[in-house]
Structure 1
Amino acid sequence: MLEVIICEDNSVYRNKLKLFIENTILRKNLDLKVTISTGDPQDVINSINKNNITGIYFLDVDLKNSINGIRLGEKIREVDPLGFIIFITTHMEMSYLAFKYKVEAMDYVIKDDADFKERVNSCLLKSYHTYYKNKNSEEYISINSQDRIINIRMDDILFIETASSHKVKVHEENRQVEYYGNLKDIQEKLTPNFYRCHKSYIVNKNKICEIDKKHNKIIMINGEKCYVSFRYKKGLLG
């Protein structure tokens, strides 16, 4: 999932920006989520170093911190080269620093401009559509979940299970998505690294941490467990 990260030191302004972005996500039915909204650049650095994400970053240039927005953008680029960085600023004269530090910003949005919200909205939508347009159809699947179409990267899937007689649950490392469907139909859309290990489970072999052969359990990289039947165990271990 594409994540939205906000780093703005002014709490009032930060909350307004977060609310506006979340309203746009809701109104446009986008598969996005604001996962970080902070005034401390170290919060962003710690999170992106810990989690493998592609993000849309709204960064205040002047963070009243030893790390300004431009330097934060540089650190983001080191671990998220495909991310989308938008600088929120009152200091356009500092934009040259982005070239110096090779940040490759999508845009510079002036806080006091009358079209501020329109510019933020434009950056959000452009980032979203560019991200999914650049993904090969074999690399993600689109599912209908209630009133939303959700695009899920196959590399993010741990395993898929039958949730009920008419529902399927997709387990990612940081979320679960449930929708009406069946394993047979979704299996036809998946890449070869996915294996039908049980009548109720399909597992991503690249995300397996351990196989408990005695208890027929598969432990995933995040500690979640799914099951392998005796019938399919040999194919998984082979």
Structure 2
Amino acid sequence: MIHIYLCEDDNRQLTRWKTVIEKYLLMNSTESQLYCTVSKPEELLAMRKKSEITGLYFLDIDLQAEKNGIELAQEIRKYDPRGYIVFITTHSEMAVLTFRYKVEAMDFIIKDNVKTLPEQICACIKNAENNYRAQLDSSKRLLSVKIDKANLVLDQDDIIAITTSEDYHKIIIHTKNGTRQMAGSLKEFKATLNSTFCQCSRSSIVNLKHVLKYSRDEALLTMDNKETYSVSIRMMGKVQRALKQI
């Protein structure tokens, strides 16, 4: 998942960026979310501090504030060293400063190019998602699932649990942001998951990274999103051993 941040002091421009991104997210199968739409650097940084998710940042350079966009980018790097930063501005001459301040901008978009701006914004989102997918793949955290003829990329670290559905041959993926139902079986998905997952019953596989508490007496796992999952007698030993290794 990628959280998308916008920071632009001109409300008309900010609304335009927001509309372009919302349309992209609606038309594409993606877990990316428009997370923050603000006009002040301090507001963006406050939101950034609340999240542990990789961000894609579209920043104006001249923000009419104590911090300009480049200085804001420097602050962002303290909290999100691998995030993707894109500057959108009328000041093309300031592009060289992004290198001097070592903020590692992914792109630099000129506002004056009104006709191509939407296409450039969407291209940045696609590039960020492709890079993010490659990072997940290299760290064995990538899970690609098919939903309605589209492939959806998930970060396995974001998955709380996978359970069977009441609908025949369907499973439910529980994530930090809700649930998704799709065709498949626990057996099929289990083969694609990394070692942080453990089956705790015939109907549930949990991500041990999200276990908040295990009650042996109640045979119950409490997850950090407050969901609970029963542990079958047959799986108790396996679950206890797996928890000690996390």
TM-score of the superposition, structure 1-length normalised? 0.91
What's the offset of the Cα at 1:73?
1.1
2:240 is aligned to 237
1:48-93 alpha-carbon deviations (Å, 9 max, x no partner):
2222111211111122222221122112212222211100111223
Q: For the aligned residues, what is the CA RMSD?
A: 1.9
What's the offset of the Cα at 1:139?
1.9
1:86 is aligned to 86
| In the alignment, structure 1 residue 148 sits paired with structure 2 residue 150 | yes
Q: Indicate which of 199, 202, 205 corresponds to 1:199.
A: 202
For the Cα contact (< 8 Å) 2:60–2:88, is it kept in 1? yes
Rounded to whole Å, the distance in 1 between the matches of 2:180 and 2:137 is 21
2:222 is aligned to 219
For the Cα contact (< 8 Å) 2:30–2:153, is it kept in 1? no
For the Cα contact (< 8 Å) 2:8–2:60, is it kept in 1? yes
Q: Which secondary structure state, in structure 1, belongs to the residue aligned with residue 62 of structure 2?
A: coil
Question: After the TM superposition, which of the residue ranges 29-38 and 196-205 deviates more from structure 2?
Answer: 29-38
1:131 is aligned to 132
TM-score of the superposition, structure 2-length normalised? 0.88
For the Cα contact (< 8 Å) 2:162–2:172, is it kept in 1? yes
Query: How many residues are aligned here?
Result: 238
Question: After the TM superposition, which of the residue ranges 3-12 and 20-29 deviates more from structure 2?
Answer: 20-29
Structure 2, unpaired ranges of 5+? 242-246
Identity score, percent: 33
| In the alignment, structure 1 residue 64 sits paired with structure 2 residue 64 | yes
For the Cα contact (< 8 Å) 1:161–1:202, is it kept in 2? yes
What's the offset of the Cα at 1:146?
2.9
Q: Which secondary structure state, in structure 1, belongs to the residue aligned with residue 130 of structure 2?
A: helix
For the Cα contact (< 8 Å) 1:218–1:227, is it kept in 2? yes
The 3 A distance-change label for structure 1 pair 122 and 83 is: same
Rounded to whole Å, the distance in 1 between the matches of 2:174 and 2:215 is 19
Rounded to whole Å, the distance in 2 between the matches of 1:210 and 1:133 is 33
For the Cα contact (< 8 Å) 1:31–1:149, is it kept in 2? no
What's the offset of the Cα at 1:151?
0.6
